[in-house]
Structure 1
Amino acid sequence: MAAACSGRKERAWARALAVAASVVLLDQASKQAAVELLANGRRVSLVPGLDLALTFNTGVAFGALRGFGDTIGWLVAVTLALLLVHFLRSASTPWLWLPVGAIVGGALSNLADRARVGAVIDFIDPVAWPAFNLADSAIVLGVAGLVLIGERAAKRAARADEQRAAGP
């Protein structure tokens, strides 16, 4: 039983790493293309209300915490460490590897931007929403996935408690 659990955890870690690496590669490639194609203030309208335009965000979501560059890096590092500790303890939870990999990949890719250019490169620019990038999307989807997985786990635990209370 322990060997099966260990193998499941190892596969979960490998999958999370593959997702994280894929997010970093796709995000960095898309940002490089954006830097090359959207230089000098060029905007490309995809559909009404959705443009591609190059921006550099020194803050976090919605530009909050501008001017706190080093602090943001440390906050992201601590948050990632806490997430990885949670994953270390719960890696055998079905599908948990997917949102963890998405969040880790997105965060690492945005940290790479901060280290390289001093800001996060954003280029997807909806008219009624702040600009963002693929890493941001991966983080948001990953957090949503964590919430859904957590809710499912809580419901399973509640059902198990009810069955135990009902007796044989």
Structure 2
Amino acid sequence: MPILLLVTIAATIVVVDQWSKYYIQAHMAPGMSIPVLDNIFHITYVLNPGAAFGILEHQRDFFIIIALFMLVLVCYFFSRIPATFGLMRLGISLLAGGAVGNVIDRIQTGYVIDFFDFRIWPVFNVADIAIVTGVGCIIYTIVFMSFPSKTGENSR
């Protein structure tokens, strides 16, 4: 996958994430919930001061530093990933786009705006979907793809 396409994917994630959060903020009050499928799926406006499942609440600076450090690592290592590992490159692009989307929220408000509510899972957002999908792509690549060894043979 060309780098320009992957940067475009990451940027698209950021734009869609920020637009969806803006829409929720403009049309709902924090805590408000709109049933889409009653007791199955709701749109619920939540201000999350922590990470997944609300862990490490109110550690805004920590999350911003980690996200920025991760983005520096992505920029450094991205070009070193062979072009044949397109799924890993896609995963990193999704992860980066999602991280940027959530770090924008943390910088602006100290919270991440979440709104997809399946009632059996913590409320999440577009950036979270991109992050989880990206990590899944990366893990899949690491587990199931063959990597060239230093001796020239492919190994797992």
Report the TM-score, using the length of structure 2 for normalisation. Answer: 0.86
Q: Paired residue for 1:69, among 45, 60, 63?
A: 60
Relative distance call for 1:91 and 1:56 in structure 2 (3 A) is farther
Amino acid paired to 1:62: F
- Structure 1: segments with no counterpart, 5+ residues: 1-10, 164-168
Residue 59 of structure 1 aligns to a residue in which SS?
coil
Asked if 1:52 is matched to 2:54, the reply is: no
Relative distance call for 1:87 and 1:42 in structure 2 (3 A) is same
Relative distance call for 1:88 and 1:50 in structure 2 (3 A) is same
Hey, which of these two has a bigger chunk of helix by percent?
A: 1
> What are the within-5 Å matches in structure 2 for residues 101-140 of structure 1?
101-140=93-132
Measured against aligned partners, the alpha-carbon deviations of 1:54-96 in whole angstroms (never above 9, x if no partner) come to 1111111111111211011111222232333332211523323
Relative distance call for 1:61 and 1:157 in structure 2 (3 A) is same
What RMSD, in angstroms, separates the aligned Cα atoms of the two structures? 2.2
Instruction: Assess if the C-alpha contact under 8 Å between 2:14 and 2:100 holds in 1.
Output: yes
Tell me, in whole angstroms, the C-alpha distance in 2 between the residues paired with 1:121 and 1:25.
14
Amino acid paired to 1:145: C
| % same residue | 30
Tell me, in whole angstroms, the C-alpha distance in 2 between the residues paired with 1:61 and 1:137.
12
Q: Paired residue for 2:8, among 4, 18, 25?
A: 18
Tell me, in whole angstroms, the C-alpha distance in 1 between the residues paired with 2:95 and 2:2.
15
Instruction: Assess if the C-alpha contact under 8 Å between 2:9 and 2:94 holds in 1.
Output: yes
Asked if 1:31 is matched to 2:21, the reply is: yes
Partner of 1:89: 80
Instruction: Assess if the C-alpha contact under 8 Å between 1:15 and 1:101 holds in 2.
Output: no
Tell me, in whole angstroms, the C-alpha distance in 1 between the residues paired with 2:90 and 2:51.
23
Tell me, in whole angstroms, the C-alpha distance in 1 between the residues paired with 2:102 and 2:30.
22
- Structure 2: segments with no counterpart, 5+ residues: none
Moved more, 74-83 or 112-121: 74-83
Amino acid paired to 2:19: A
Q: Paired residue for 1:143, among 120, 127, 135?
A: 135
Task: Count residues in correspondence.
Answer: 151
Tell me, in whole angstroms, the C-alpha distance in 2 between the residues paired with 1:88 and 1:162.
21
Choose 1 or 2 for highest CA Rg: 1
Instruction: Assess if the C-alpha contact under 8 Å between 1:124 and 1:131 holds in 2.
Output: yes
Report the TM-score, using the length of structure 1 for normalisation. Answer: 0.80
Tell me, in whole angstroms, the C-alpha distance in 2 between the residues paired with 1:147 and 1:94.
12
